[in-house]
Structure formats: structure tokens, C-alpha cells
Amino acid sequence: MSAKGTVLKRVRQSRKANAKNKHYKSIVKSVTKKVLSETKKKDASAAADSAFSAIDKVASKGIIHKNKAANQKAKISKHLNNLK
């Protein structure tokens, strides 16, 4: 494979990976927003369980850093603790 062919292949691979990563990051943003918009503790805790699951899954795939995942989970937990 020529040098030009290798570069083009890397571009194709990175575009594919970027699209996949964008999808997962979008899911994490959506579930996080859903939890933070809840005002009732019961509803928020149910939404938080699914959010924690999604965040852990994305972090385990290496799409977001484990520290970013921890920060997002902490933000959600803080919100839950402040609800009545």
C-alpha cells in the first residue's frame, strides 16, 4: 500500500470512529440532561440508574476518560442529594 493509500485509509477509519464516538457521547449528554431536569427524587433516581449505566459503558469503551465519567456521575449524585 502506498503512503497516499495509507493516509486515505486512516482518514476513513477516523471518520468512522468519530461518528461512532459522537453517537455515544450524545447518549451520555441526553441521559445526564434527563436526570438533571428531574425535580422529583423518585423519578430522578430511576433516571440516574440508567445514566450511570450509560456513562460506565461509554467510559469502558474508552470513548470518554474515566475521570470525566466520574465527574459526570458525581454531578448527578449531587443533584440527587439536593432533591427532597
**Cell numbers at residue 73, please?**
456521575
Query: Nearest to residue 54, comparing CAs of 23, 22, 17, 27?
Result: 27
Write out pLDDT tens, residues 7-16: 999 999 999 9
**Please, which pLDDT band fits residue 1 given cuts at 50, 70 and 90?**
low
CATH of domain 3-82: 1.20.58.110
Write the DSSP symbol of residue 62: T
Is 90 exceeded by the pLDDT of residue 39? Answer: yes
Name the residue ranges covered by the structural domains of the chain. 3-82
Is 80 exceeded by the pLDDT of residue 84? Answer: no
